[in-house]
Amino acid sequence: MIHIPNQPGDIAPRSLEKIQGDETILFVDDEIYLAEVGREMLEDYGYCVDIMTSSRQAFEWFEKNQDRYDLLITDYLMPGMTGVQLVEKIHSLRPDLPVLMCSGIDLPSEIFQMVCITKILSKPFDMETLVKSVQEVLHKPRG
């Protein structure tokens, strides 16, 4: 596990102090460092986070554990199977699962409708942006 040391005097931003999640998240990114950092950020706020660096393996895992997750966070560009393809396959099993898509490139807004992505998060992002986005997606009314 990667440890990112805090600077002396670092504390959680005020706007995040009261956030305490208890949901379980599947975090998929082909860059292991980003997956580990994402997990650490979210675990600091009470979330249970499983990480995968392969979208194909993530789908195979999800097939066997579909009721475990409250949220999917996935990178857009990944080898073998893109984030969009992963979302399509996962939604074939759990169409109600909210999705936070991360990308270092600008994504067309049509992607929201095409694959029912709840929110797109631009990379790079900081802890506050990630945690607030997760809260927004998890607590967005579904209809």
Average pLDDT over residues 78-101: 94
What pLDDT is recorded for position 16?
59
Top-confidence residue, 56 or 113: 56
pLDDT (tens digit, 9 = 90+) per residue, 102-143? 887 776 666 666 667 888 888 888 889 999 999 999 987 665
Residue 105 to residues 41, 77, 88, 118: CA-CA distances in angstroms?
A: 22, 9, 20, 17
CA dist., res. 29 & res. 115, Å (int): 18
Burial 57-77 (b: 16+ CB within 10 A, else e): ebbebbeeeeeebbbbbbbbe
Question: Could you tell me the pTM of the whole model?
Answer: 0.83
Domains of the chain plus CATH, in order, are 22-137 (3.40.50.2300)
Average pLDDT, the chain: 84
| pLDDT greater than 90 at residue 63 | yes
